[in-house]
Structure 1
């Protein structure tokens, strides 16, 4: 009676803080594959790209739209590769064709 549930750690906030620490490290190089799946998603969210998930990363690699580095059996991404992929995802709105005759 009267017991409270233990506090659940906020994994998303902890991951975002870890990403910020990686970016702030003096030896950090944007070309090095420093981000695992969860960190790559958190980095994209820090940039304001909310649609990126671990699944979308997997499909981007399978479709050869995103470079991946396999280190000790785990996928890693560099900031530069993620930025290039996101830039390629964005399409200008003016590319849509109108149905009317000119």
Structure 2
């Protein structure tokens, strides 16, 4: 197996693990990090977490300097004013699956 093959397998595994994160885990991550639950725009504490049958919705943002790469984000929006927060999926992944997962809690 080549190094390129190993990289492809590793990326597939990382992707599958990220896609396995549940809304409950996302909420636990936010709590564990001590994030303020108040909306920055209006102060409300009522958030919508987009999801489908497979779990929380993940959106991507492409990299202008490197079009073959993209960052993944979980997002939540305020039910009062529609302000939106993006949570970088890699940080959530690190919390649950990374080498330092015990230190991340």
| TM category, shorter | under 0.3
Higher relative contact order (CA 8 A, sep 6+): 1
Bigger strand share: 2
Question: TM-score when scaled to structure 2?
Answer: 0.27
Q: Whose Rg is larger?
A: 1
Q: Which has the higher helix share?
A: 1
